[in-house]
Amino acid sequence: MKRIAVIGGGVAGMTAAIFAAGSGAEVTILEQKDRVGKKILSTGNGRCNFTNLYQTPDCYRSDNPEFPWSVMKQFDVHQIIAFFLEMGIYSKSRNGYFYPHSDQASSVLDAYRMECRRLGVKILTDTKCLEILPNAKGFYLKTEQEILRTDAVILAAGSKAAPVTGSDGSGYTLAKKLGHHLIPVLPALVQLKCKETFYKTVSGVRVQAKVSLYVNDRLAAEDTGEVQLTNYGISGIPVFQVSRYAARALYEKKQVKAVLNFMPDFEPEEFLTFLKRRIESRPEKTLSEFFVGLFHKKLAELWIRESRIKPERKTGSLSENELHRLAGLIQCFETEVEATNTFEQAQVCCGGIDTREVDVRTMESIYVQGLYFAGEILDVDGICGGYNISFAVASGVLAGKGAAGCLGSTR
């Protein structure tokens, strides 16, 4: 029976283990933490958003852009939902975002552990792989406790994001020692730190806005949704969605700015007309009174300060120029991005093992026969919405079957 060792007991590693064991291999997972699947527990705010019905190539990012989609086409969203159901996870959809019906991420982990047990997958916790040593017949795996012999290795050690869950980046070192190259590993799906000092005055405000990210004055990415203003900068889903481009540009020492549109449903001309009509119906209101009921007070105060118009001015007395200035601040608010938050706060990393060095059908290394990769260790990052677990599952399936030599098997 073929022996396969899986390094890393996250979604990718456990999926790979399940598919390899289901294809008849003898599988052992090496997990450095005291239990498998720690990261799963914090996903989707404790509910685990594991996939999404909306799937296009743009939902996945990589330096080798065709790679993630080629993987996802081999194990698509419907197969992911069916696989989860087979493990007992009946799912619920919120506008196409899929969660376990229990709304508990812990139930996803439980289902994975039960499936591993059913298939006889051996799980060694508190076992860190220190080195992968290929030889003519397979591999020796050096751990703190012993040296294990195996025929094939699936490296699913995750990235550097949220290292408290176990992904400490040691998988990259293991791969590099075997000749693999890394696309720079940087925090992604993460908050952005901004230069301006006013953020403390608006900290805690949540507001619907469009975030446009510019790198050296060229639009790199944009997204709309609820933005959270913090005492150091900007957060929230739309910020997460554009953050990997900021991380990469800052790493390359480029200039990064975000432009926030706090009235994204209005075209600029429409918004000016809207403001003028509102002024016409209440010209006696002061500028601070004028925004009541329209925007959060802290935001309105910020714009008034930035516009350098006195807050006690009657709106009826504002000049066309002053009105344009205010509208510009509301719809085109520029902020300079200085840094991303750290790996500790990031949900995923962009960068990782260069996927040009991996066979897209089997996830096998092009350098080392019998070495396979799965999950976030690869240079693939999905947008928010279940795409990262989707990729961890799909690549895990291919790696598990590939390592067992059973591509085409149905498990």
* Chain residues in the site for ligand FAD (CB under 6 A): 7-13, 30-33, 38-39, 42-44, 48-49, 128-129, 156-158, 161-162, 165-167, 170-171, 347-348, 375-376, 386-389, 392
Nearer to ligand FAD, 44 or 236 (CB): 44
Nearer to ligand FAD, 11 or 242 (CB): 11
- The bridge status of strand 348-353 relative to strand 233-235 is unpaired
Nearer to ligand FAD, 38 or 210 (CB): 38
Nearer to ligand FAD, 262 or 387 (CB): 387
Nearer to ligand FAD, 230 or 261 (CB): 230
Q: How far is the CB of 374 from ligand FAD (least distance, A)?
A: 7
d(CA 193, CA 97): 28
| Side chain identity at residue 140, one-letter code | Y
d(CA 37, CA 98): 19
Element (H, E) at 4: strand 3-7
With tokens 């990052």, the residue in question is 381
Q: How far is the CB of 162 from ligand FAD (least distance, A)?
A: 4
Q: How far is the CB of 350 from ligand FAD (least distance, A)?
A: 11
Nearer to ligand FAD, 7 or 246 (CB): 7
Other beta carbons less than 10 A from residue 345's beta carbon: 14
Classify residue 175 by its DSSP letter.
Answer: H
Q: How far is the CB of 388 from ligand FAD (least distance, A)?
A: 3
d(CA 66, CA 319): 53
Q: How far is the CB of 39 from ligand FAD (least distance, A)?
A: 4
Nearer to ligand FAD, 41 or 205 (CB): 41
Nearer to ligand FAD, 172 or 214 (CB): 172
d(CA 153, CA 20): 11
Nearer to ligand FAD, 11 or 275 (CB): 11
d(CA 90, CA 63): 35
Nearer to ligand FAD, 128 or 285 (CB): 128
Classify residue 364 by its DSSP letter.
Answer: B
- The bridge status of strand 26-30 relative to strand 122-124 is parallel
Residue closest to 394 by CA, chosen among 21, 3, 82 = 82
Q: How far is the CB of 88 from ligand FAD (least distance, A)?
A: 19
- Output the CA torsion sign for 192, 194, 200, 205: negative
Task: Give residue 191's Cα distance to chain centre.
Answer: 12
Q: How far is the CB of 292 from ligand FAD (least distance, A)?
A: 37
CB 400 within 8 A of CB 154: yes
Q: How far is the CB of 144 from ligand FAD (least distance, A)?
A: 10
Q: How far is the CB of 385 from ligand FAD (least distance, A)?
A: 7
CB 302 within 8 A of CB 202: yes
CB 319 within 8 A of CB 240: no
Q: What residues contact 370, with CB distance under 8 A and at least 6 apart?
A: 134, 138, 139, 151, 152, 153, 364, 403
Element (H, E) at 170: helix 170-177
Q: What residues contact 218, with CB distance under 8 A and at least 6 apart?
A: none
d(CA 352, CA 59): 17
Q: How far is the CB of 132 from ligand FAD (least distance, A)?
A: 9
